[in-house]
Amino acid sequence: MTGIYFDNNATTRVDPVVVEAMLPYFTEQFGNPSSMHSFGNKVGLAIKKARMQVQELLGAEHDSEIIFTSCGTESDSTAILSALKAQPERKEIITTTVEHPAILTLCAYLEKEGYKVHYLKVDGKGRLDLDEYRRRLTDQVAVVSAMWANNETGTFFPVVEMAELANAAGAMFHTDAVQAVGKVPLNLKDTKIDMLSVSGHKLHAPKGIGVLYLKRGTRFRPLLRGGHQERGRRAGTENTTSIVGLGKAAEMAMEAMAYENTEVKRLRDKLEAGILAKVPRSFVTGNPDDRLPNTSNIAFEFIEGEAILLLLNKFGIAASSGSACTSGSLEPSHVMRAMGIPYTAAHGTVRFSLSRYSTEAEVDRVIAVVPEIIAQLRKLSPYWDGDGPKEEAFAPTYA
Amino acid sequence: MWDYSDKVKEHFFQPRNAGPLEGANGVGDVGSISCGDALRLMLKVEPDTDIILDAHFQTFGCGSAIASSSALTEMIKGKTLDEALKVSNQDIADYLDGLPPEKMHCSVMGREALQAAVANYRGEAWSDDHEEGALVCKCFAIDAVMIEDTIRANNLSSVQDVTNYTKAGGGCSSCHEGIEEILVKVMAERGETFKPGAGTKEEAAPSGMTNLQRIRKIEAVLESVRPQLQRDHGDIELVDVDGKTIYVNMTGACSGCQMEALTLQGIQQKLMEELKEFIKIVPTKAGALTRASCHP
C-alpha cells in the first residue's frame, strides 16, 4: 500500500487477517446458513461464532442481542423506525444537530410524515446541554438518538447518562456508535442503551456489513420482513463472508483497543501539535479533552478544504474535509455550523483520522507537508495578505 | 474525489496569473465566504483600445474555482472588453475540458467577476442577479432557485412539467423527491395542493401534438442521427411508439456495440428536448422488428 492514509473515520483498510478468515466462505464454505444440511450448518456455526465475537466487543449480555445488517445506516433506520412503530402513541423524537446524515436525513423525512423532532444544540466544542435534553424529554418522546462519538470531530456525547434519562422517561434510546465501536470500551449490559449501530468498515472489516444491537426485551418492529433470518428481525440471506470478517475484526479490535488509546492517541497528538505549531490561524475543532483517540479536525482559516485535500492528495496524503465543495452542496459541514465555527474557518476544516496502521514516519511527513500546502493556498486567497488576514476586508459583491 | 479533467488539475496545481496585479484599473470582487467561493479578478486595460493587457486573480475556493479563475484570466488576455464579455461560463468550462455538474457554479463565478471588473473599469455600477440555490438536479446542474422560478412563471404542477421546462429530473431521477418538495412549496403559495399523480394522464398523451405529428417528430430526430450511425456502419429504426416508450432497433455495427447504451442515451436526450416531454427509449432485439421481442 502506498501513500499515507489518514481518513480512517471514512473507512478503514480490511485487516489481512480478516480477509484470511473470510476467504473460505467465498469458496468451500458456501452453504446457505438456513439450510438443514451440513454445508449450511458449518456456515451457520461460523455466523454464531461471529455473533459472539461482536457480543464480546459490545459487552452485550446475550448473543441474541446482535442483529447483522448491511451497514450503519440500515441499523440507524431500523432502530428509529422500529421505535416509532413500537410506540405509536408517542410522536416525538429527540436527536442532535450534529448527527450523521443517516440520522438527520431520516428525521427530516419523518418530520414530513408528521413526527416532531427535537434537535439538541451543541456548544462551541460540540458538547450537549443536558438541561435542554431533560426539558425536551417528555412522555411524548418515542426515541432518543444521539451518536456516541462525532464522526468529524471525534467529540463524545454522554450517551450512557442520556440513556438513563430516556429510560426514566419511558423513551427508547438509540446511539449511532459507528465511530466509537472498537476504540472505546463498551459494556452495554450495564447500560440502559436499547439500540446501538455498528458499521463493519470502520473497524477493519469489509464494507456492506453492520450490526444493530437490540437489548433483550426492547419492543421491535423489523425493517425488512420476509424469511426467518436473524430471528425474523432482519429478513434476507445473511452476508456470510462479511459477517465472518466482522466477527474476526471485532475480536482484533478488543486486542488493539489499548493500543488505539495509547499509541494511536500519541501519534494523533503529535500530528496535531506539529501542525498547529507551524500553521498560523489554525485550531482544533470539537472537544479536545473528550474525543476519539484517533481523530483530529483542524480548521485552517481563509482557505477552502477541498483545495487542501487536492494538494494533500498530490503529496500522497489522504484526509477528509467537511467543506461544502467536497459534497457538492453550498453549505459547509453542518457540524461546524452547529458549533458556531465562523465561515472564515468552517470551509477550511480538514479531518485527520489515524488507525493502528499509522506510523510515526507518516505523522512526521504530514507535519512537514501541511504548512507548505496551507501557505501555498493562502497566497491565492483574497482574504489573506502575507502573514495574516487582510486588514482591509475583502468585500465581494454578494457577500 | 471529483472526476476532474487533466486541464482542471493542471490549472489548479499550476494556476496562471495568480496574485495581485500592479496597475490594475478594473477590479471585480464576487462571491461570498459563507458560500465558500470568492474571487477577485484584476484587469489592466489599455484605455485607447480597450484591450486587456493583463489579468490576475485571487480565489478563495475549491479546486475547480481556482482552475476556473486561472482559465478565465488566460482566456481574456489580449481581448477587448467587449470580446471578453462574450466569454460565457460554458466557455470557461469547455476551456477546462469540462467541469462536474456540481461545480458549474465555479465557472459562473468567473463570468460574474469578469462583468464586475469591466463595470468597475467603466465606472458603472454592477449588481448581480445571483441567487444561491442548492443544486437539485445534479445530472443537468439545475438549482432550486431556477426550478422555483420556472414553476412560478409557468404554473407548473408536476415533476414531468418541471423536467419538460428545465430538464431537471430528466436524468437519473434521484432528484424527483426534491422537485416534489419544491412543487409542494410553490404550489402552496398559489393556494394549490401538489398531487403526486397529477398530470401523469395528460402527459401520457402527446403534448399538444397528434400521434401522427409526434411520430413524425420522432422520425425526424432519428433521421438526424442516422448519418452519424451509418458512418460507423450502423443504423437505427423506429419500431413502435407506446405512450412514453419509444421502441427502436439498433442494426449493423450499432447492434451489440459496447457504446450502444451511450448512443441510445444521447438519442433519448435529443428526443426529450424535441418532444419537450419525458420519454424512454427501449431497444428491441436486433433484427426483429417487433416490440414484442423486448418481452419474450
Question: Which tens digit of pLDDT belongs to each residue from B152-208?
Answer: 988 889 998 888 787 788 777 788 989 999 999 999 999 999 988 665 444 444 457
User: Strands (DSSP E) along chain A, which ranges?
Assistant: 4-5, 66-69, 92-96, 116-120, 141-145, 172-176, 195-199, 210-214, 282-284, 295-300, 317-318, 349-353, 384-385, 388-389
Residue B258 banded pLDDT, cuts 50, 70, 90: low
Helix (H, G, I), strand (E, B) or coil at A129: coil
Q: Which positions of chain A have pLDDT values less than 50?
A: 399
Output A278-282 pairs: Cβ under 8 A, ≥24 positions apart. A278/A367, A278/A370, A278/A371, A279/A370, A279/A371, A279/A374, A280/A387, A280/A388, A281/A388, A281/A389, A282/A374
Report the Cα A223 to chain-centroid distance in Å. Answer: 22
This complex has an ipTM of 0.87
In this complex, do A399 and B32 lie within 8 Å of one another by their Cβ atoms?
A: yes
Q: Among B15-24, B64-73, B155-164, which is the least confidently predicted range? A: B155-164
Strand partners, A284: A298
Query: Strands A195-199 and A172-176, how do they pair?
Result: parallel
What's the rounded Cα separation, in Å, for the pair B52 and B74?
11
From residue B221, give the alpha-carbon distance in Å to each of A100, A137, B225.
Answer: 47, 62, 7
DSSP string, chain B: -----HHHHHHHHS-SSBS--TT--EEEEEEETTTTEEEEEEEEEETTTTEEEEEEEEEES-HHHHHHHHHHHHHHTTSBHHHHHT--HHHHHHHTT---GGGHHHHHHHHHHHHHHHHHHHT-----------EEETTTTEEHHHHHHHHHHHT--SHHHHHHHH-TTSSS-TTHHHHHHHHHHHHHHTT----TTTTHHHHHS-SSS-HHHHHHHHHHHHHHHHHHHHHTTEEEEEEEEETTEEEEEEEETTTT-TTHHHHHHHHHHHHHHHHTS--EEEE--TT---GGGG--
Contact B21, B56 (CB under 8 A): yes
Name every residue whose Cβ is closer than 8 Å to that of residue B29 and which is 6 or more positions away in sequence: A382, A394, A395, A396, A397, B38, B39, B40, B41, B113, B116
In this complex, do A306 and B66 lie within 8 Å of one another by their Cβ atoms?
A: no
Distance from CA of B78 to the nearest CA of A (A): 23
Provide the residue ranges of all domains of chain A, joining segments of one domain with +: 4-8+257-394, 16-253
Contacts B60 to A, Cβ<8 Å: 302-304, 347, 380-383
Instruction: Please check if B35 is assigned to a binding site.
Output: yes
In this model, does residue B128 exceed pLDDT 60?
yes
CA atoms within 13 A on the CB side of A378: 23
What's the rounded Cα separation, in Å, for the pair A34 and A41?
8
Contacts A330 to B, Cβ<8 Å: 35-36, 105, 132, 134-135
In this complex, do B60 and A304 lie within 8 Å of one another by their Cβ atoms?
A: yes
* Catalytic, out of A207, A325, A357, A364: A325
* pTM score: 0.81
Q: Which CATH class is domain A16-253?
A: alpha beta
Comparing A215 with B111, which gets the higher pLDDT? Answer: A215
Q: Among A202-206, A382-386, B6-10, B69-73, which is the least confidently predicted range? A: A382-386
Cell of A31: 452453504
Instruction: Please check if B257 is assigned to a binding site.
Output: no
The mean pLDDT of chain B is 84
Distance from CA of B50 to the nearest CA of A (A): 24
The per-residue pLDDT for B249 is 87
Comparing A143 with B147, which gets the higher pLDDT? Answer: A143
Catalytic annotation, residues of B: 35, 106
Chain A contact present for B35, CB below 8 A: yes
The per-residue pLDDT for B104 is 78
Hey, of B4, B62, B184, which one would you mutate to test binding to chain A, going by the most A CBs within 10 A of its CB? B62
Q: Which residue of B has its CA nearest to A112?
A: B181
Hey, of A380, A381, A390, which one would you mutate to test binding to chain B, going by the most B CBs within 10 A of its CB? A380
Instruction: Please check if B172 is assigned to a binding site.
Output: yes
Chain B contact present for A396, CB below 8 A: yes
In this model, does residue B293 exceed pLDDT 60?
no
Residue B133 banded pLDDT, cuts 50, 70, 90: low
In the predicted model, what is the mean pLDDT of residues B278-293? Answer: 61
- State the angle between helix axes of B260-275 and B211-231 in degrees (0 to 180), rounded to the nearest 10: 140
Hey, what CATH topology would domain A4-8+257-394 get?
Aspartate Aminotransferase, domain 1 (3.90.1150)
From residue A59, give the alpha-carbon distance in Å to each of A47, A156, A220.
Answer: 18, 19, 21
Contact B222, B248 (CB under 8 A): yes
- State the angle between helix axes of B144-154 and B159-166 in degrees (0 to 180), rounded to the nearest 10: 100
Q: Among B45-54, B133-142, B197-206, which is the least confidently predicted range? A: B197-206
Helix (H, G, I), strand (E, B) or coil at A28: coil
